[in-house]
Structure 1
Amino acid sequence: MFNRRKVFIFAASLIILLVLFSGCSNSSETKGKDSTQGTATKEGNDLTIAVDANLISMDPHDTNDTLSGSVQRTMFQGLFGFSKGMEVVPVLAKDYKISDNGLVYTFQLKKGITFHDGASFNAKAVKVNIDRLANPDNNLKRHSLFAMVKSTEVVDEYTVKVKLKKPFGAFINNLAHPAGRIISPKALEKYGKEVSRNPVGTGPYKFKEWVPGDHLTVVKYDQYWQDGYPKIDKLTFEPTPENGSRVAKLKTGEADFIFPVPPEQAKQIDGKNGIEVKAEPSIVVRYMAMNSMKEPFNNVKVRKAINYGIDKEAFIKVVKRGFGKPLDSVIAPKTSFYSQQKVYEYNLEKAKQLLKEAGYPDGFKTTLWGGNNSTSMKGMQFIQQQLAKIGVDVEIVPMETGTMSEKIWSTKPKETELEMYYGGWSPSTGDADWGIRPLLGGKEAFPPKSYNTAYYSNDKVTKLINDALLTAKPDEREKLYAEIQKLIWNDAPWAFLTVDYTISGKKNYLEGVYLLPDGSLSTHDAKIVK
C-alpha cells in the first residue's frame, strides 16, 4: 500500500524528534543507569539493539537487505566470513584447495559442531545448502551468488567438493557473503519455506521469538562450538524507524546499541548519557537509480542532467551532516578493484541545457520511490528540492520494507511502475563483482532476478563483467573492472550521490558490538563491562 505523503512528513518528524529529546531524562530508566557525567551502568546480561527498519526474513538464502542479514549473523555461520576490516576468514571451513583449472573447490570442514536443533554440521549439510542456493527453481533472492555452481559432492563426512560451470574469481568471497550461511538440513526439511520464520544455524545464539514490527529475540546457545562464547544471555532487536524514537531509546537505556544514528544527532548525543557514537567510512554507496527502460530516462542526456542537477556536497552537509564523501565511482574506495572517476559537478545551467537537448526544455514530472524511515525521507526530499530547480517535478513515494519488496524486488521488468529509486548498496563480498553485477549487470540482473533497479543494459559492460569472473588473476581483474566503471559512469544509470559513513551509538558499558564496512552488524564479541 502506497503512502504518498510528501515534504510535510519531514517537518512532522522533526517536531516529534524535538519533543522526544525535550522529554528525555538523564536519570535511571528501564535497563541502565545514566548520569549527566557521561557514564552508564548495566544490570543483567541481556542486550537490546534498536534498528531503523522492520526485518524481512530469517532465511539467509532468500534475503536481500543488510539489516536482516545482520540479525541472521547471530544465529548462522558460513564456511567463511569477514573480519572487522572485511578480510575473508575461515569460519566453519578448516581449509580448502582449488584445482589448477579453477573449476573445483575442495573444502575441509571443522568437526564437533552442531546446529541448534541437534543436527550435526558436516559435508552433507553443506551440500544441501549449496544445492539449494544453486537451484534456480527455488527462486531464492541470493541464487545469483551461486548460479555458477555445477555440482556439490560429499567426499567424506567432513570433506565437500564443489564444481563450477566455469572459473569464477570471486567464489570464496561469495561463500563469505551472508547468503553463504548454512541452515540446518533438518530444519529445511521440517519447515520448508517457513524456515524464514524458524531459523536454525550453528551460531552463538539460537532463535527464541519474532513478533514482526515489534521485536526479534535470540538467546545464548549453550552448546556453541567456540569456547567462552557467547558472553551475552539474550539479544533483542527492536525495529524503530523513526530517528527520534531510536535515539530516545539509547538515551534512556531502553536500548544498549542503535544503528544507524541519525547524522543530525550524532555530535549532540556523543559523550552524554553514557553514549559513545562511532562514525567510519564504509563501502555502502548511496545512489538514485533511473529506470532506463522508461521515458525520459532512456535518454542518457536526461540521466546526466539529473547528475549535474544535484549538489553532492550540499547533500552531504544537509542529509548526512558531513558523514559521507561524494561517490566517485559505482563502488566505494574500500571495495576491491575500485577505480576513481570524475565526479559530476553541480552545474544547473549544464543540467538545463542537457534537458533542452533531450527534448525537455520545461522539465518533466516523475516519481521517486524509497524507504519510509526518517533518513531516507530526508534524502528524497533533498533530491526533490534540488531537481525542482531544473524543472523536474518529483513526487516522493515512501514505502515500508514489505511493500518495497513487493513493488520493486518481486515485479517483472515489463510490469514495473518504478521510475526512480533512492537506495544504497553494500557489496557484502567486499569484491567489485558484487558491487557491480547485481546492480548494473544487464538484463540478467533485472528484478526479480537481482537488483538492477536502473534496468541498465550495456552489452559491452555485461561482457566485461563476465570476462572479469573468468579469471582469478588480480591484475587482469583490475584492468577489466576499471573499464567497466568508466563505461557505467559515462552512461549515468544512477544519480551518483555518496559513500556513506556507518554511524552507530552504544552505551559505554558495552564492548564488542560494531558495524563492518559493509554496514552490517557484528555482535559475536559482545560483552557487558561491569
Structure 2
Amino acid sequence: MKSPLPRGLTIASGLLALVLGTAPALAAKDVVLAIGGQPETLDPYNTNTTLTTAVTKSFYQGLFEFDKDLKVRPVLAESYTVSDDGLVYTFKLREGVKFHDGTDFNAEAVKVSLERVLNPENKLARYNQFNRIDKVEVVSPYVVKITLKDAFGPFINSLAHASAAIISPAALAKYGNKDIAFHPVGTGPFVFEDWKQTDYVKVKKFDGYWKKDFPKVDSITWKPVLENNTRAAMLQTGEADFAFPLPYEQTAALQANDKLDVIIGPSIIERYVSFNTLQKPFDDIRVRQAINYAINKEALAKVAFNGFASPAEGIVPEGVLYAHKMKPWPYDPAKARELLKEAGYPNGFESILWSAYTTTTAQKAIQFLQQQLAQVGIKVQIQALEPGQRTEWVQSWPDPKTAKVRMYYAGWSSSTGEADWALRPLLSTEAWPPKLNNTAYYSNEEVDAYIAKALRSVKDEEKAELYRKAQEQIFKDAPWAPLVTEKNLYATSKRLSGVYVMPDGNIEASEIAVSE
C-alpha cells in the first residue's frame, strides 16, 4: 500500500505539473532523473562540478571509468603498458566503436581530445588535470602513445575521471572549442537531444552503441530540481524514477513507500568552509583557528544533515587513497573567543559567508554556521550563490588580490579516488582561481613540495608519507574549517535498475533499465 505524502508535500506535488510543463512528454521507457542542480555546461573538460559530469556521462565515454567502488576499469581502452621510467603509456583501443555522428572512434580521436585540453589558449577548467602530458602520438589507428613530462602516479585514475571524455573530432571541427558545449557528440549509450538550461537535459537511445543489448531505455530526462522536498515529492507521485540528493529528514517516509527503493550509500564528499587567507581578518591563523573551535560539527551533522553525516576527520575523507585520519577540531567557544581576543578582535568582526549551493540542506548548513559564529561575536551575512554567480564571483575571478570571496561553504570529492585530486585542486598554490578551486588562496611551500613529490613517486609507502605530511600541515595552518563527511541518500522507483550514486557523488546510469 502506498504511504501518504508527508505533510507539506501535497501542495508541492500539485505544482509539479507546472514545473514539468516544459519537459518532453514521457513514454513507458523514458526515465526522469531528478537532480539537485543545473549543469553549467555540457563540456566535461570545462567543469569542476560532479553533477555536470554525471550528466555528460550519458553521451561521453573515456578510455577508463570507475566502478561503484571507485576501482578503475577499461572502457574505450582495452589494455595499456607503461615504460619502466613511468613516462610513456601505450594504449590498445577498442575497435568497432562509432561516435554519434557516425564517425569512427580511433587513436586520432584520443589525440584530438587531449590536445584540446592541453592547449592553454582554450582555457578549459580541466587543464591542470592533464597538463603533465607532454605529447600524444598516434602509433596506429587503434594504438595511441602518451608521454608525460614527469612520472605521474595517478595518471590512469585521471583518465578514468568523467572529465576525460573522448569527443568526436568531426564535431569539434564543426562546432569549435566553445560551442561544442552545446552540441556534445561522444560514443556513449545516449545521444544528446535537447538542453533547456533551467529545465532539463534530454538524451535519447543511441542505436549504434557498441555495447551489446544497451541501452535498455529510450530516453533519459535529467531534471534539475533545486528544492529537496520537491525532488522527494516527484518520487512519491511517480513523476521521477530517481532523485538525488534527498532531504534526510524524509528518509522514513520514503522508506515506507512500497514503490520506492531508498539507498543510503557511502560517501567521500567532505563539506568545509574556506577562508580567504589573503584578506583580513582571515590572514591571521588565530582567527581561522577560532572559527574551527566555534563550530559544533556534531550538531551541524544533526541539524543540517539529520544525522546522515559525521564530523570531518581531517582534510581528506576516509575512502580516498592516502587519506590521513585526524581528530576533528573540538567544539570550544571559550577557546574561540580567547583566540579572537589575541588576534585583536575582542568583540568579533563582521564578514560574508557564501554557499556554493542553493539546496535546502546547504541553506540549513549556512544558517547553522551563522548562528554558531554569532555566539563568539562573528556576525556573518549569508548568501547561497546561483550557478552563474558561483562561476563569476568565485571560480572565474581573475585577480586574487581583488577576490570578493571571504568565507565559502563548499564541498569536494576526489573523483579520481586518491589524495592528489583531494589536495592539489583545492590547496596547492597553483590551484588559485581561476585555474582551480583553492578558494582559500592558501599557499605553503612545504605543502606544494609534498604534493609535487608525491605525484612523481611510484612507491606507495613514500606517497602515503608525503600525503600524510601535507594533510597535517594543512590542518595546522587551518585555511579551512573541515565540517562533515556526508552520506549519499537517494531513491529509485521499483521499476528502475542500473542507476546508482558513486561515493564521490557522481551518478552512474549507463546500464539504466526499467521493468514493464
Q: Same fold (TM over 0.5)?
A: yes
Given that residues 113 and 202 in structure 1 are in contact (C-alpha distance below 8 angstroms), is that contact kept between their aligned partners in structure 2?
yes
**Farther off after superposition, 237-246 or 111-120:** 237-246
Given that residues 70 and 417 in structure 2 are in contact (C-alpha distance below 8 angstroms), is that contact kept between their aligned partners in structure 1?
yes
Distance in structure 1 (CA, Å) of the matches to 2:210 and 2:451 = 39
Which residue pairs with 2:346 in the alignment?
361
Which residue pairs with 2:209 in the alignment?
224
The 5 A counterparts of 1:194-343 are 194-272=179-257, 274-343=259-328
Aligned length: 500
For residues 5-59 of structure 1, give each alpha carbon's deviation from its aligned partner in whole angstroms, at most 9, with x where no partner exists.
Answer: xxxxxxxxxxxx9774144789xx99xxxxxxxxxxx971110011111111110
Given that residues 280 and 502 in structure 1 are in contact (C-alpha distance below 8 angstroms), is that contact kept between their aligned partners in structure 2?
yes
Distance in structure 1 (CA, Å) of the matches to 2:452 and 2:12 = 54
Which residue pairs with 2:165 in the alignment?
181
User: Shift of the alpha carbon at 1:281?
Assistant: 2.2
Distance in structure 1 (CA, Å) of the matches to 2:32 and 2:151 = 44
Which residue pairs with 1:400 in the alignment?
386
Which residue pairs with 2:418 in the alignment?
431
The 5 A counterparts of 1:87-98 are 87-98=71-82
- Read off the aligned partner of 2:511 and give its amino acid letter: D
Give the TM-score normalised by structure 1. Answer: 0.92
User: Shift of the alpha carbon at 1:424?
Assistant: 0.4
Distance in structure 1 (CA, Å) of the matches to 2:201 and 2:440 = 33
User: Shift of the alpha carbon at 1:324?
Assistant: 1.0
Distance in structure 2 (CA, Å) of the matches to 1:426 and 1:132 = 25
The 5 A counterparts of 1:77-96 are 77-96=61-80
484, 493, 496: which one aligns with 1:498: 484
Distance in structure 2 (CA, Å) of the matches to 1:23 and 1:398 = 25
Which residue pairs with 2:91 in the alignment?
107
For residues 507-528 of structure 1, give each alpha carbon's deviation from its aligned partner in whole angstroms, at most 9, with x where no partner exists.
Answer: 1121111000010001112111
Which residue pairs with 1:484 in the alignment?
470
- Read off the aligned partner of 1:406 and give its amino acid letter: E
Distance in structure 2 (CA, Å) of the matches to 1:521 and 1:183 = 20
Distance in structure 2 (CA, Å) of the matches to 1:388 and 1:276 = 41
Which residue pairs with 2:110 in the alignment?
126
Given that residues 135 and 147 in structure 1 are in contact (C-alpha distance below 8 angstroms), is that contact kept between their aligned partners in structure 2?
no
Distance in structure 2 (CA, Å) of the matches to 1:360 and 1:219 = 58
Given that residues 229 and 246 in structure 2 are in contact (C-alpha distance below 8 angstroms), is that contact kept between their aligned partners in structure 1?
no
Which residue pairs with 2:494 in the alignment?
508
The 5 A counterparts of 1:118-157 are 118-157=102-141
**Farther off after superposition, 200-209 or 406-415:** 406-415
Distance in structure 2 (CA, Å) of the matches to 1:69 and 1:54 = 11
Give the TM-score normalised by structure 2. Answer: 0.95
1:411 aligns with 2:380: no
Given that residues 13 and 234 in structure 2 are in contact (C-alpha distance below 8 angstroms), is that contact kept between their aligned partners in structure 1?
no
CA RMSD, aligned part only?
1.6
The 5 A counterparts of 1:152-163 are 152-163=136-147
1:467 aligns with 2:439: no
Secondary structure of the 1:179 match is coil
Distance in structure 2 (CA, Å) of the matches to 1:482 and 1:253 = 47
For residues 290-334 of structure 1, give each alpha carbon's deviation from its aligned partner in whole angstroms, at most 9, with x where no partner exists.
Answer: 111111111111111101100000000110101111111111110
Gaps in structure 2 of 5+ consecutive residues: 19-25
Gaps in structure 1 of 5+ consecutive residues: 1-16, 31-41
Secondary structure of the 1:453 match is coil
Distance in structure 1 (CA, Å) of the matches to 2:27 and 2:218 = 12
Given that residues 83 and 89 in structure 2 are in contact (C-alpha distance below 8 angstroms), is that contact kept between their aligned partners in structure 1?
yes
Secondary structure of the 2:453 match is helix
Distance in structure 2 (CA, Å) of the matches to 1:528 and 1:211 = 25
Which residue pairs with 1:73 in the alignment?
57
- Read off the aligned partner of 2:74 and give its amino acid letter: P
Distance in structure 1 (CA, Å) of the matches to 2:440 and 2:6 = 37
154, 159, 165: which one aligns with 1:170: 154
Secondary structure of the 1:475 match is helix
Given that residues 79 and 91 in structure 1 are in contact (C-alpha distance below 8 angstroms), is that contact kept between their aligned partners in structure 2?
yes
- Read off the aligned partner of 2:388 and give its amino acid letter: G
**Farther off after superposition, 263-272 or 444-453:** 263-272
User: Shift of the alpha carbon at 1:415?
Assistant: 2.4
Report runs of 4+ in structure 1 exceeding 6 Å deviation: none
Given that residues 20 and 248 in structure 1 are in contact (C-alpha distance below 8 angstroms), is that contact kept between their aligned partners in structure 2?
no
Distance in structure 2 (CA, Å) of the matches to 1:241 and 1:269 = 18
1:374 aligns with 2:360: yes
Distance in structure 2 (CA, Å) of the matches to 1:428 and 1:243 = 24
Distance in structure 2 (CA, Å) of the matches to 1:279 and 1:356 = 43
Given that residues 65 and 161 in structure 2 are in contact (C-alpha distance below 8 angstroms), is that contact kept between their aligned partners in structure 1?
yes
Secondary structure of the 1:223 match is coil
For residues 349-369 of structure 1, give each alpha carbon's deviation from its aligned partner in whole angstroms, at most 9, with x where no partner exists.
Answer: 011111111111110001011
Which residue pairs with 1:34 in the alignment?
none
Given that residues 100 and 206 in structure 2 are in contact (C-alpha distance below 8 angstroms), is that contact kept between their aligned partners in structure 1?
yes
372, 376, 394: which one aligns with 1:390: 376
- Read off the aligned partner of 1:166 and give its amino acid letter: D
Distance in structure 2 (CA, Å) of the matches to 1:49 and 1:85 = 22
Given that residues 110 and 166 in structure 2 are in contact (C-alpha distance below 8 angstroms), is that contact kept between their aligned partners in structure 1?
yes
Distance in structure 2 (CA, Å) of the matches to 1:92 and 1:271 = 41
The percent identity for this pair of structures is 44
Which residue pairs with 1:420 in the alignment?
407
For residues 86-128 of structure 1, give each alpha carbon's deviation from its aligned partner in whole angstroms, at most 9, with x where no partner exists.
Answer: 0011110011011111111111100000110111100000000
Secondary structure of the 2:167 match is coil
